[in-house]
Amino acid sequence: MSTSGNFDEEITPRSKPIFDNRWTISPRDFFFKYLRYLPWVLISCVILFLVAYIKIRYTVQIFRVQSSLLIKDERDFGDKKDARFEELFMSPGTTNLSNEMEVLKSRPLIARVVKDLNLQVRYYNKGKVRTGLLYPDVPFYLNTLKVADSSVGFGLKIKILDSLRFLIDADKTVYLFGQTLQSGGNSFSLIRNPAVGYNSFGTPEFEVDWVPVPGIAEYLISSIRVAQSNEQSTILNLNFEGENIRLGKDVLNTLMSVYDTMIVEDKNRIASNTLKFINDRLVELNDTLRNMQGGLKAFMVQNQVFDVENQSKGYLDRLDESAKQKTEMEVKVGIVDFLLKYVADKKNMHELVPTNLGIEEPALMQLVAGYNQIQLERDNNMKTTPATNPLIIGMDNTLDKIRRDIYQALLNVKQAYSIADEKIDRRFAELQGNITSLPGKSMQLLNKERQQKILEDIYSLLLQKKLDISLSSASTISNSKVLEPALGNPTPTSPDTKKTYTMYLLVGLLIPIGIIVLKEQLQDKVRGRVDIERLTNAPILGEIGHSETDYPLVVTRNSRKLIAEQFRIIRTNLQYIIGKNERPVIMVTSSFSGEGKSFISTNMGAVMALSGKKTVIMEFDIRKPKIISGLDLKRKMGITNYIIGKASFEDLLVKVDNIDGLYIIPCGPIPPNPAELLLDRRLDDLMKEVTANFEVVILDTAPIGLVSDATTLGNYADCSMYIVRQGHTFRKQVGFIEELYKAKKIPKLSLILNDVKVEGGYYGSKYGYYGGYGYGTASGYFEDEDGRKKKKKRFGLFGLFSRK
């Protein structure tokens, strides 16, 4: 069949898609290309799914318990016009939530929770799958009679035999419940809990751990989360994460209760210390006033001074104001003296300093508030920590420094008051100068009365403060309120079943996909038509599948094999290249040896001869000829003999059996200088005779990527077939083809993809399985390698399994 003369030299728009190299791989082709990896992906997903199941099955479940605590502003209590209560309660006026959050997670507070719930002893049941924490229902209780070292814990492995007996660890000795036991210096006993049957657990094996309070406190602190509900509110959200919901509820509820109690205790301690200070001062003032009243009475009787108003009326009114000011100042000085004496007394080293005694000096009040706060923290830590602890020593040093600062501040205040008092005295002296006419005795009386009034004012002030503080102590309440008791979520937060399965399935997908991608990235050889189209614009004539036979000639007159039909398609497509040329000279070359030039040349010659055209194949691969030996033909004189003048044209022709009109011209003896030999003018004569006697001439040349023979022979060719072999030609060689194509170093270059193999149902071409049919070798159009028709197969799930 010949189509010569039916096509123009230029490719028409209708035929252009055959050679359009800008195609991309379709979803269908992509699916079939990677279908062969599907079993590995499924196996990987199944394995990772099983790993996720095992992880979920054997991981201890963690549950979340939540509660809410309202911290009320101190200013909400009492009369807002009277700030004395705020000072008594050591409140700065506004609530600092950051401080309260730290207090809730402080060790002293958590330690009280541990002791209240008796969490030093932990019970576990050793199950078949995992060990679970028991709380609060336990089959027995650990009664610790003596602990050798309270800072070191100990554990026991218990196996219950019956309601009366048990074993400890690996010891075969049988013990009785209630029996006193000794271990490592510790004395204890196990008390049976009749309300809980040991048979209700998975196994009769249990573990008991006694842990020091600090250890349990650290565990609880790491499990508790305290956060502000939002920036505008004073609500704190408390979360506890653990393996036992009931334990989490009890911890949070007890924590809020202990926190509430601690606040009340701190306020009562401050009030108690202040009352103690006031009572001491009242006793001193009472004695002083009693002595002063007796002296005043004796002075009045002795000096007969009872009424001097008529004598000093004009001056006393003016003197009254100064006297009042001096009285107030001396009251303040008296309070300062009392405070100096109190602070200097070493007996009060670890006592709170009284506040709200009428001294309104901001710096002094700030020092006193800081001193009392640290004193409270020290008292709380002393409950669980010895005095020799570096933390307590550090607090003592800080308290000592602040106490000295308070003392100095009081001295400064007293000095300021003294200066003010001197000014009042000067004004007072001026007024007294105006009444020098008054009897001296009357003035003495006035002085004594004034001193008595000062002490009486101080006494009245302290009595009022005592009453205020007593009332406040009787009605002391906490500034916190449980907004929502602890509630547990029965759905575990860890392990997250959905998240775990999703993550592991994703990993199960990513592992094989990553391996496939890595394999593709490391692949540096041509895998299919898409690789070629991505790297070069040269047209592709067609694709040749893998030949299962060793004999190079697969195209015969009656052959219906797939590979034979592929050569016929290439013959048809070749008409778009050669156009109206009636006697085309076709050059066949490649990048390097082993890409199938001789195989393609032989069968292209056969398919052209079967179309009725007299065809000759010239074996120009002089260095490594294969055509004659591959066809088992008898070697005759060749091209090299003709060029050196040792043979005539008729001596060169070798007839191929069973293919009418197909001849081969061998290369002849291999010369020492093949490249120079091809430049001989005798080659021009040979080509003229060949083109005069044959309708189609095929030049099987040496690889153009290795030697220059093909470039030289390109001067005689009308078109060039460049062979690219799947899985053999390097991708970088396709870039070399693009250079040849752009520079037009060889005539009308086109490509043939050779040795195409099916990969996972993907044939590697734009047409699916074969040349546009899309039915593959199972379509009934072709024969197998033995010449028999293929039976159509039905494909099972994903094409992985099939049946005849």
| 477-485 mean pLDDT | 84
| Contact call for residues 764 and 564 (beta carbons, < 8 A) | no
* Residue 75 pLDDT greater than 70, yes or no: no
* Residue 463 pLDDT greater than 70, yes or no: yes
Residue 558 corresponds to which amino acid?
N
Q: Comparing 745 with 293, which gets the higher pLDDT?
A: 745
The pLDDT score that the predictor gives to residue 436 is 59
Computed over every residue of the chain, the mean pLDDT equals: 80
H-assigned helices in 438-485: 440-474
65 falls in which pLDDT band (50, 70, 90)?
very high
Backbone angles phi, psi at 725, to 5 degrees: -105, 130
The pLDDT score that the predictor gives to residue 507 is 93
Q: Return the SS3 of 402.
A: helix
Residue 155 corresponds to which amino acid?
G
Global pTM reads 0.53
Q: Which two tokens stand for residue 182?
A: 């000794």
**Percent above pLDDT 70 for the chain:** 83
The pLDDT score that the predictor gives to residue 183 is 85
Q: What is the 3-state composition of the chain as percent helix, strand, coil, each rounded to the nearest 5?
A: 50, 15, 35
301 falls in which pLDDT band (50, 70, 90)?
low
**Closest C-alpha to 415, from 332, 327, 326, 342:** 332
* Residue 685 pLDDT greater than 80, yes or no: yes
Q: How far apart are CA 804 and CA 794, in angstroms?
A: 7
Q: pLDDT tens, 200-228?
A: 888 999 999 999 999 999 999 999 999 99
801 falls in which pLDDT band (50, 70, 90)?
very low
* Residue 17 pLDDT greater than 50, yes or no: no
The pLDDT score that the predictor gives to residue 688 is 93
The pLDDT score that the predictor gives to residue 4 is 36
The pLDDT score that the predictor gives to residue 44 is 92
779 falls in which pLDDT band (50, 70, 90)?
very low
* Residue 89 pLDDT greater than 80, yes or no: no
Q: Which of 1-5, 245-249, 604-608, 634-638 has the lowest mean pLDDT?
A: 1-5
Q: Which two tokens stand for residue 428?
A: 């007072």
- Which residues touch 366 (CB under 8 Å, ≥6 apart)? none
| 369-381 mean pLDDT | 83
Q: pLDDT tens, 146-175?
A: 988 888 999 999 999 999 999 998 888 999
Does an H or E element contain 366, and which?
helix 362-382
Q: Which two tokens stand for residue 75?
A: 């200013």
* Residue 195 pLDDT greater than 60, yes or no: yes
Q: Which of 92-106, 529-543, 718-732, 734-748 has the lowest mean pLDDT?
A: 92-106
Distance (Å) of CA 465 to CA 359, 462, 477? 13, 5, 19
Q: Which two tokens stand for residue 524?
A: 């540096």
Whether a cis peptide bond, with omega within 30° of 0, leads into 136 is yes
Q: How far apart are CA 184 and CA 177, in angstroms?
A: 19
Q: How far apart are CA 185 and CA 149, in angstroms?
A: 8
Q: Tokens 């895998």 identify what position?
A: 527
Residue 432 corresponds to which amino acid?
Q
**Closest C-alpha to 464, from 360, 369, 357, 359:** 357
Q: How far apart are CA 693 and CA 670, in angstroms?
A: 25
Q: Which of 464-468, 513-517, 637-641, 712-716 has the lowest mean pLDDT?
A: 464-468
Strands, sheet with 235-242, edge to edge from the N-terminal-most edge strand: 224-228, 235-242, 63-71, 480-488
Q: Tokens 């290439």 identify what position?
A: 570
Distance (Å) of CA 285 to CA 74, 343, 456? 34, 19, 8
Backbone angles phi, psi at 142, to 5 degrees: -95, 120
Question: CA 204, 205, 210: angle at the middle one, nearest 5?
Answer: 130
Query: Taking every pair of C-alpha atoms in the chain, what is the biggest distance, in angstroms?
Result: 175
The pLDDT score that the predictor gives to residue 541 is 92
**Closest C-alpha to 331, from 222, 462, 435:** 462
* Residue 81 pLDDT greater than 50, yes or no: no
The pLDDT score that the predictor gives to residue 306 is 55
Q: How far apart are CA 738 and CA 741, in angstroms?
A: 5
Q: pLDDT tens, 307-361?
A: 556 555 655 666 777 778 778 778 888 888 888 888 888 787 778 888 767 677 7
- Which residues touch 433 (CB under 8 Å, ≥6 apart)? none
Q: Tokens 């194949």 identify what position?
A: 617
Q: pLDDT tens, 544-593?
A: 988 888 888 888 888 778 888 999 999 999 988 888 888 999 999 998 88
The pLDDT score that the predictor gives to residue 179 is 92
Q: pLDDT tens, 23-38?
A: 455 677 677 777 888 8
Q: Which of 363-377, 640-654, 767-781 has the lowest mean pLDDT?
A: 767-781
- Which residues touch 484 (CB under 8 Å, ≥6 apart)? 66, 67, 68
- Which residues touch 660 (CB under 8 Å, ≥6 apart)? 609
| 371-375 mean pLDDT | 83
Q: pLDDT tens, 396-454?
A: 888 888 888 888 888 888 888 888 888 888 877 776 665 654 556 666 777 777 887 88
- Which residues touch 312 (CB under 8 Å, ≥6 apart)? 435, 438, 442
| Contact call for residues 732 and 598 (beta carbons, < 8 A) | no
The pLDDT score that the predictor gives to residue 300 is 65
Parallel, antiparallel, or unpaired for β 719-725 and 749-756?
A: parallel
| Contact call for residues 710 and 746 (beta carbons, < 8 A) | yes
Parallel, antiparallel, or unpaired for β 140-146 and 186-192?
A: antiparallel
Q: How far apart are CA 15 and CA 403, in angstroms?
A: 103
87 falls in which pLDDT band (50, 70, 90)?
very low
